[in-house]
Amino acid sequence: MSLEDEEKLVRRVLEAKPGLTREELEKLVEAKIQEFGGIIGRDAALLLVAKELGVPVSREFAPRSLAMLRIRDLAAGFRGVDLEGVILAKTAVALTREGKPYARFLLTDEESAIWGAAWGDVAHEIAKVRIFSKVLLRRASVVRRRGRLELALTQGSQIEVRGELSLESAIELLSRFRAKVDVLVFKESAESPRGKVILCLDRQCRPVGVLLAPGSEFSASSKGIIVSNYFEERLGELRVLKCNNRCVVEPLRETPNIACRDDPFAGVSARGSVACYLLFRRSGGKVLLIGEKGEVFELLVPSDQQLVDIGKLLNSEVEILGVYKSGVSLRTTPLTVVKVLSSSRKDADYSRGYLLAATEAIELEASLVSLKLKHRCVEGSPLYQVTAWVDDGTANMQAISNSAKVLQKLYGVDEASLCDTDPEAIASIANYVNEELAGTDVALRGQVIGSANRLIVVHDLDILF
């Protein structure tokens, strides 16, 4: 601000405040300079005093000494400020109740950091700027919001991108200012009823699941992603980042330097053959997986829709990612991804045997001690479980089946028509069959699984009259 402009501003203040003398105004200006520790000039102090006195001040009086200040030098009421820094975090563009677009961002000059809000067309401009970009913000204002200083970019403000910070430097700044931004190495992605699921590793080599809102756009990057403005939840060893429509996900241009000693997904994944599922009373169920060494994994599935999806993979070799330990069992999450390794296992090589000594695939004759059918439908897809106790004279054992062959041979109901038939009619048929077949001999073909609590998963059977 020139001396001539300073004098114009002094006269404007004195005209607006006739009870104020020039000497009193000069004392207020000097006090304001001392308040800021002498870091601002007389022109900037005069501008702040004028604003505090309620005197309207146009941009022509913006002091030059405010240009290119450091963040630490800012004060509420500054206008026309130019700031250089790095965009460390941001939100997606949203609308106020009045329909005005805005977006928030975090700017750092590597010494300090300050949040800001961009309004109107400038909000769409800041949305185009990548996180970790070096920028020059022109004609910014400084306001106080909820007790803290913030930048305001409005009509007339400009954003100039001046390159991008190296990933190593950006990660150091994230740690220093504790920004809610994660740099992740991309591993897998899949669709789910609740949105797109992205499985990643964070910088500490911990498994992370990112759940995007339905309809969110995402392009997978082999190098990694940046996630900003999320809600975090912990499920065992799995970090879950939930993104709504204010979340920002961007692809990385550099590969994060992450070295993992062990398999980071070991605690949040399971691999094996889908043997069967058992229905819970109201919703969801338990899936039994057989590992490579014959060990049995219990996978708790609280969602009926997830159970339908996994139930379609009976006898398939799968890898299930995005689960967590719940006691001795694993439990699915909204982020669970199922990878099919082989669409179906080859037909089992059944051997004749007895329940007492059976260990794997077996063919035997036994009596049905009891029989029960449990079923329900999920948006037209059937879930059903045939449960029986069988006795072959050497031992009695629980038998479980989700086989369409077993369903049809025992109850005369096709899997495809299970959801088209009245539930009361199915219940009546099941009750009748359960009573009629009690004590009947059957030829079973299935697989014995488990050690302490063994059961036989029945693949097929024939009723022996």
- Written as six digits, the tokens of 220 are 């997978």
- Strand, coil or helix: what is 247? coil
- The string of pLDDT tens digits covering residues 169-181 is 999 999 898 888 9
Query: 251-266: per-residue pLDDT in tens?
Result: 888 888 877 777 777 7
Tens digits of per-residue pLDDT, 360-415?
Answer: 889 999 999 999 999 999 999 999 999 999 999 999 999 999 999 999 999 999 99
Same fold flag, 180-251 and 351-464: yes
The angle subtended at Cα 85 by Cα 82 and Cα 90, nearest 5°, is 105
User: What pLDDT is attached to residue 67?
Assistant: 45
Distance CA 462, CA 114 (A): 74
Question: Strand 207-211 vs strand 238-242: parallel, antiparallel, or unpaired?
Answer: parallel
This prediction's pTM? 0.68
Domain 81-168 fold is OB fold (Dihydrolipoamide Acetyltransferase, E2P) (2.40.50)
User: What's the confidence (pLDDT) of residue 217?
Assistant: 72
What are 56-107's pLDDT values in tens digits? 776 555 555 444 578 887 888 888 888 889 999 999 999 999 999 999 999 9
- Which two structure tokens, joined as six digits, stand for 120? 């109107």
Q: What is the CATH number of domain 266-342?
A: 2.40.50.140
Q: Which conformational region is residue 284 in: left (phi greater than 0), alpha (psi within -120 to 50 degrees), or beta?
A: left
Q: Could you tell me the pLDDT band of residue 197, with boundaries at 50, 70 and 90?
A: confident
CATH of domain 180-251: 2.40.50.140
Six-digit token string for 379: 């948006």
* pLDDT, mean over the chain: 87
H helices of 250-373, in order, are: 304-311
Buried b (16+ CB within 10 A) or exposed e, 377-395: bbeebbbbbbbbbbebeee
- Least confident range of 49-63, 170-184, 301-315, 329-343: 49-63
For every residue of 130-144, DSSP letters joined together read PTTEEEEEEEEEEEE
User: Which pLDDT value is given to residue 312?
Assistant: 92
* Residues ≥6 apart with Cβ < 8 Å to 391: 355, 366, 367, 369, 397
Domain extents in the chain? 3-63, 81-168, 180-251, 266-342, 351-464
* CATH superfamily of this structure's domain 351-464: Nucleic acid-binding proteins (2.40.50.140)
